[in-house]
Amino acid sequence: MQADALERIAAELSGTYDEYVGRFSSPDMAISLNTAALLAALCEGLNVHRALDVGAGFASVVLRASSARRGGSVWTVDDDQDMLDRVGQFVLSRALPEGRFTLWPEVLAAEPATFDFVFYDLGSMTSRAHRLPDVLNRLADNGVLVLDDMHKEEYAPAVERVLGGDRWQYLDPRPLSVDRYGRFCGVVVRA
């Protein structure tokens, strides 16, 4: 993946990103614009049709915009109904397909579905590490998982423990996703 292509995608997303962080979040809480560009590039390059967005936010917008171009579907889950509602309203204000917005416990209770692409950015680092096995169980055999906030000192070792063994491979796109706050994401695929 070329850095100049990601810069172009980030420039395309910047107006929507600025509106999102101005209305619903702040730049230090929303996913970074660099990570958003990486998500968009991955979805396009991998031709993703079924995406799971775990943690409502700007990624919900990016995944739906990408999905709309291919006729795919996106499920957004969160543990906060108010956040689901606010992000859902923003998605609709951008004339993007609403898809499915649901609470995390409902996903766990439902029959397991698998997804080509999963973005994981829900809850505290402790609860995120605890829920990671459930998220991995939703990933299709050839799927890609993007983990946000891999810069968190307490989160990275917990992720390493969950991914331990030879079943998963962790890829480090830090140079492509790091932002001005030092935040970056990680990518996981089956080994």
* Boundaries of every domain in the chain: 3-190
Strand partners, 100: 75
3 pLDDT band (50/70/90 cuts)?
Answer: confident
Cα 110 to Cα 122: distance, rounded to the nearest angstrom: 19
pLDDT of 187 over the 70 cut: yes
Residue 75 has pLDDT above 70, yes or no: yes
Confidence bin at 49 (pLDDT 50/70/90): very high
What angle is formed at CA 23 by the lines to CA 21 and CA 27, rounded to 5 degrees? 15
Residues 135-164 have a mean pLDDT of 95
Does 32 score more than 70 pLDDT?
A: yes
Q: In whole angstroms, give the CA distance from residue 76 to residue 34.
A: 20
Rounded CA gap, 115 and 121, in Å? 16
CATH assignment of 3-190?
3.40.50.150
DSSP label at 55? S
pLDDT tens digits, 85-110: 999 999 999 999 888 999 998 888 87
The model's pTM is 0.95
For residue 1, what pLDDT band results from cuts at 50, 70 and 90?
A: low
Cβ proximity of 46 and 118 under 8 Å = no
Do 35 and 179 form a contact (C-beta atoms < 8 A)?
A: yes
